[in-house]
Structure 1
Amino acid sequence: MLKAFLLKGELNKTLELYSHIMQIGLYPDNYTLPYVLKACAHLQKFQVGEHIHGAVFKLGFDGDAFVGNTLLLMYSSCARMVEARRLFEEIPERTAVSWTVMISGYSKRGDVDSARLIFDEAPFKDRGIWGCMISSYVQNNCFKEGLEMFRLMQLTDIDPDEGIFVSLLSACAHLGSVDIGIWIHKQLKRMQFPITVQLNTALIDMYAKCGNLGLAKNLFHGMQERDVICWNVMISGLTMNGDAENALALFEQMEKNGFRPNDITFIAVLTACSYSGMAYKGLQLFNSMKLVYGIEPKSEHYGCMINLLGRAGLFDEAKEIILRMPTSCSPSDEAMAWRALLSSCCSHGETSLAEVAAERLLHLERHCGVYVLLSNMYASSGKYDDARRIRKDMKERGVEKTPGCSSIEVNGFIHEFVAGEKSHPQMEEIHKVLEKMTVQLE
Structure 2
Amino acid sequence: MLIKTCVPASGKRVIQEYIFSLLQTCKTETNIVQIHSQIVLNGLSHKNNIITKLLSFYAAFGKIQHAHKLFIKINNPKTTVWNYMIRGYASSNTPWKSVQYYNQMVLTESEPDGFTYSFLLSACVRGGLVKEGEQVHAVVLAKGYCSDVFVNTNLINFYADRGGVDEARYVFDDMTQRSVVSWNSILAGYVRCGDFDAAMKVFDEMPLRNVVSWTTMIAGCAQNGKCVQALSFFGQMRRARVELDQVALVAALSACAELGDLKLGRWIHWYVRKRQQQPSVRLNNALMHMYASCGIIDEAYQIFIKMSRKTTVSWTVIIMAFAKQGLGKEALDVFKDMLSDGVGKSGVRPDGTTFIGVLCACSHAGFVEEGRRIFESMIHTWRISPQIEHYGCMVDLLSRAGCLDEAYGLIETMPFKPNDAIWGALLGGCRIHKNSELASRVANKLVAELDNTDQAAGYLVLLSNIYAFAERWQDVIAVRQKMIEMGVKKPPGQSWTQINGVVHNFVVGDMTHKHSSSIYETLCEITEQARLEGYKPDITEILLDVEG
- Asked if 1:385 corresponds to 2:488, the answer is no
Note the 1:254-269 alignment, pairs <5 A. Answer: 254-257=338-341, 258=343, 259-269=348-358
SS in 1 for 2:239: coil
Aligned to 1:318: 407
Aligned to 1:174: 258
Note the 1:46-57 alignment, pairs <5 A. Answer: 46-57=130-141
- Asked if 1:99 corresponds to 2:191, the answer is no
Check conservation: 1:162, 1:199, Cα contact below 8 A.
yes
Q: How far 1:104 moved relative to its partner?
A: 2.9
Aligned to 1:282: 371
Aligned to 2:541: none
Check conservation: 2:443, 2:459, Cα contact below 8 A.
no
Could you list the per-position Cα deviations for residues 63-119 of structure 1 after superposition, in whole angstroms to 9, with x for gaps in the alignment? 222222222222222222222233322233232223333333333333333322322
**Structure 1 220/441 Cα, relative in aligned 2: closer, same or farther at 3 Å?**
closer
**Structure 1 435/106 Cα, relative in aligned 2: closer, same or farther at 3 Å?**
farther
Q: Matched residues in 2 for 1:298 and 1:63: separation?
A: 50
Q: Matched residues in 2 for 1:219 and 1:26: separation?
A: 54
**Structure 1 306/48 Cα, relative in aligned 2: closer, same or farther at 3 Å?**
farther
Aligned to 1:155: 239
Q: Letter of the aligned partner of 1:96 in structure 2?
A: V
**Structure 1 428/99 Cα, relative in aligned 2: closer, same or farther at 3 Å?**
farther
Query: TM-score, normalised on structure 2?
Result: 0.70
SS in 2 for 1:125: coil
SS in 2 for 1:8: coil
Aligned to 2:94: 10
Aligned sequence identity (%): 33
Q: How far 1:207 moved relative to its partner?
A: 1.6
- Asked if 1:371 corresponds to 2:457, the answer is yes
Could you list the per-position Cα deviations for residues 349-385 of structure 1 after superposition, in whole angstroms to 9, with x for gaps in the alignment? 4444445444544565412213321233214422331
Q: Matched residues in 1 for 2:137 and 2:272: separation?
A: 44
**Structure 1 234/80 Cα, relative in aligned 2: closer, same or farther at 3 Å?**
same
Aligned to 2:67: none
Check conservation: 1:177, 1:414, Cα contact below 8 A.
no
Check conservation: 1:107, 1:140, Cα contact below 8 A.
no
Indicate the larger mover: 198-207 or 36-45: 36-45
**Structure 1 256/69 Cα, relative in aligned 2: closer, same or farther at 3 Å?**
same
Q: Matched residues in 1 for 2:129 and 2:524: separation?
A: 60
Check conservation: 2:91, 2:123, Cα contact below 8 A.
no
Q: Matched residues in 2 for 1:344 and 1:45: separation?
A: 50
Q: Matched residues in 1 for 2:264 and 2:212: separation?
A: 22
Check conservation: 2:440, 2:463, Cα contact below 8 A.
no
Q: Matched residues in 1 for 2:109 and 2:402: separation?
A: 70
Q: Which blocks of at least 5 consecutive residues in structure 2 are unaligned?
A: 1-84, 469-474, 532-548
Check conservation: 1:107, 1:136, Cα contact below 8 A.
yes
**Structure 1 159/371 Cα, relative in aligned 2: closer, same or farther at 3 Å?**
same
Q: Matched residues in 2 for 1:242 and 1:231: separation?
A: 17
Note the 1:336-375 alignment, pairs <5 A. Answer: 336-362=421-447, 364-367=449-452, 368-375=454-461
Check conservation: 1:235, 1:248, Cα contact below 8 A.
yes
Q: Matched residues in 1 for 2:182 and 2:489: separation?
A: 41
Aligned to 1:271: 360
Aligned to 2:152: 68
Q: How far 1:247 moved relative to its partner?
A: 0.8
Aligned to 1:234: 318
SS in 1 for 2:495: strand
Q: Greater Rg, structure 1 or structure 2?
A: 2
**Structure 1 215/278 Cα, relative in aligned 2: closer, same or farther at 3 Å?**
same
Could you list the per-position Cα deviations for residues 234-267 of structure 1 after superposition, in whole angstroms to 9, with x for gaps in the alignment? 1111112221101101111111112311122111
Aligned to 1:114: 198
Check conservation: 1:376, 1:387, Cα contact below 8 A.
no
Residue 213 (structure 2) aligned to one of 129, 139, 143: 129
- How many residues align? The count is 435
Q: How far 1:36 moved relative to its partner?
A: 4.1
SS in 2 for 1:381: helix
Q: Matched residues in 1 for 2:102 and 2:395: separation?
A: 49
Q: How far 1:18 moved relative to its partner?
A: 5.5
Could you list the per-position Cα deviations for residues 139-175 of structure 1 after superposition, in whole angstroms to 9, with x for gaps in the alignment? 1122222111111122212121111111122222222
Q: How far 1:417 moved relative to its partner?
A: 4.0
Check conservation: 2:483, 2:489, Cα contact below 8 A.
no
Q: How far 1:301 moved relative to its partner?
A: 1.8
**Structure 1 413/300 Cα, relative in aligned 2: closer, same or farther at 3 Å?**
same
**Structure 1 46/222 Cα, relative in aligned 2: closer, same or farther at 3 Å?**
same
Aligned to 2:271: 187
Q: Matched residues in 1 for 2:138 and 2:409: separation?
A: 54
Q: CA RMSD in A?
A: 3.2
SS in 2 for 1:391: helix
Q: Matched residues in 1 for 2:175 and 2:527: separation?
A: 62
Check conservation: 2:297, 2:321, Cα contact below 8 A.
yes
Aligned to 1:415: 504
**Structure 1 434/9 Cα, relative in aligned 2: closer, same or farther at 3 Å?**
same
Q: Letter of the aligned partner of 1:217 in structure 2?
A: Y
Q: Matched residues in 2 for 1:121 and 1:347: separation?
A: 57
Using CA pairs below 8 Å that are at least 6 residues apart, which structure has the higher relative contact order? 1
Q: How far 1:393 moved relative to its partner?
A: 3.4
Indicate the larger mover: 245-254 or 188-197: 188-197
**Structure 1 431/280 Cα, relative in aligned 2: closer, same or farther at 3 Å?**
same
Aligned to 2:29: none
Aligned to 1:298: 387
SS in 1 for 2:91: helix
Check conservation: 1:375, 1:386, Cα contact below 8 A.
no
Q: Matched residues in 1 for 2:291 and 2:214: separation?
A: 25
Query: TM-score, normalised on structure 1?
Result: 0.86
SS in 1 for 2:498: strand
Check conservation: 1:407, 1:417, Cα contact below 8 A.
yes
Q: Letter of the aligned partner of 1:389 in structure 2?
A: Q
**Structure 1 380/362 Cα, relative in aligned 2: closer, same or farther at 3 Å?**
closer
Check conservation: 1:346, 1:374, Cα contact below 8 A.
no
Indicate the larger mover: 345-354 or 21-30: 21-30
Aligned to 2:16: none
Aligned to 2:398: 309
Q: Matched residues in 2 for 1:15 and 1:340: separation?
A: 52
Q: How far 1:12 moved relative to its partner?
A: 4.8
Aligned to 2:304: 220
Q: Letter of the aligned partner of 2:477 in structure 1?
A: D
Indicate the larger mover: 342-351 or 244-253: 342-351
Q: Matched residues in 1 for 2:326 and 2:354: separation?
A: 17
